[in-house]
């Protein structure tokens, strides 16, 4: 994904839930086209923010067991309100089930306590080395990068203090 759609992970409970925030700024380049007279966070970016929050829930819960966590399916996604610049979208994801390869989640995004988006996600997780053992080094490098990103997203929160 080209854009980081989370600015902070506020709290997290392993295998259960995670709360993250996406601050919307007028400086974000995609707002120039969406829409010039009425800039709003695109709905697909709200969905991507929820996907990224879900991926962080999985990463932190499993101590980075998988280098790849991607959206497999989105269901019952409902957009209830716009997210305009100057506001923060709070994304709350809850894990509802998992198996060896997939994690099921429900999510909702709110601005100032008002629902903006909700739905259900299925995330797929795996390592590149699962299908090509020669990719094990790339898996390690990707996980190292994700670990360094965690410190940026959890700065000034007590997420790091949670046992992993």
Q: Please give the structure tokens belonging to residue 37.
A: 């007279």
- pTM for this prediction: 0.93
pLDDT of residue 156: 78
- Cα–Cα distance, 108 to 38 (Å, whole number): 23
Q: What are phi and psi of 106, to 5 degrees?
A: -115, 150
Hey, where are the domains in the chain? 8-156
Cα distances (Å, whole numbers) of residue 54 to 33, 121, 163: 27, 8, 18
Q: Which of 2, 45, 56, 54 is closest to 22 using CA atoms?
A: 45
Question: Which position among 34, 66, 92, 145 bears the catalytic label?
Answer: 34
CATH of 8-156, one of 3.10.129.10, 3.20.20.70, 3.90.180.10, 1.10.3230.20: 3.10.129.10
Q: Which of 42, 51, 55 is closest to 83 using CA atoms?
A: 42
Judge whether 72 counts as a catalytic residue: no
Q: Which of 132, 25, 123 is closest to 68 using CA atoms?
A: 123
Summarised one tens digit per residue, pLDDT across range 82-127 is 999 999 999 999 999 999 999 999 999 999 999 999 999 999 999 9
Summarised one tens digit per residue, pLDDT across range 40-88 is 999 999 999 999 999 999 999 999 999 999 999 999 999 999 999 999 9
pLDDT of residue 1: 52
């Amino acid at each position: 994904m080209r854009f980081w759609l989370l600015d902070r992970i506020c709290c997290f409970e392993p295998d259960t839930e995670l709360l993250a925030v996406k601050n919307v700024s007028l400086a974000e380049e995609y707002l120039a086209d969406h829409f010039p007279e009425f800039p709003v966070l695109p709905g697909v970016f709200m969905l991507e923010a929820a996907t990224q929050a879900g991926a962080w829930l999985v990463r932190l819960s499993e101590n980075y067991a998988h280098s790849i966590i991607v959206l497999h399916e989105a269901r019952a996604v409902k957009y209830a309100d716009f997210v305009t610049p100057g506001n923060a979208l709070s994304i709350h994801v809850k894990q509802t089930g998992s198996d060896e390869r997939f994690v099921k989640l429900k999510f909702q995004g709110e601005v100032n306590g008002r629902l903006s988006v909700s739905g259900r996600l299925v995330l797929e997780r795996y390592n590149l080395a699962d299908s090509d053992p020669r990719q094990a080094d790339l898996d390690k490098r990707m996980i190292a990068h994700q670990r360094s990103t965690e410190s940026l997203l959890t700065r000034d929160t007590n997420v790091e203090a949670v046992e992993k």
